[in-house]
Amino acid sequence: MAEAGVKLSLDQKIQLVRDAFAAFQRGDMKALSDAWSDDFVWHSRGSVFGGDFKGKDAAIAAIARYPQELQDIKLDFHDILANDKHVVALVNSSFKRGGKTYQDQIVYIFHINDQGKTTEGWIIADTEMAKNAIEG
Q: Please, which residues have CB within 8 angstroms of residue 107's CB and are 6 or more apart in sequence? A: 88, 89, 90, 91, 123, 124, 125
* Residue 16 found at the interface with other proteins (CB under 8 A): no
Site string for other proteins, 19-48 (x = CB under 8 A): --------------------------xxx-
Please state the closest distance from residue 127 (CB atom) to other proteins, in A: 5
Site string for other proteins, 86-125 (x = CB under 8 A): x-x-x-x------------x-x-x------------x-xx
| 33/59 with CB nearer other proteins | 59
Q: Please, which residues have CB within 8 angstroms of residue 36's CB and are 6 or more apart in sequence? A: 56, 59, 117, 118, 119
**Residue 2 phi, psi (nearest 5):** -75, 160
Q: Of 18-26, 34-42, 75-83, 113-121, which segment contacts other proteins by CB under 8 A?
A: 75-83
* Residue 64 found at the interface with other proteins (CB under 8 A): no
Dihedral sign from CA coordinates of 21, 23, 29, 35: negative
Q: One-letter amino acid identity for 80?
A: I
Q: How many CB atoms lie within 10 A of CB 14?
A: 19
Q: Which residues bind other proteins (CB under 8 A)?
A: 1, 45-47, 50, 78-79, 81-83, 85-86, 88, 90, 92, 105, 107, 109, 122, 124-128
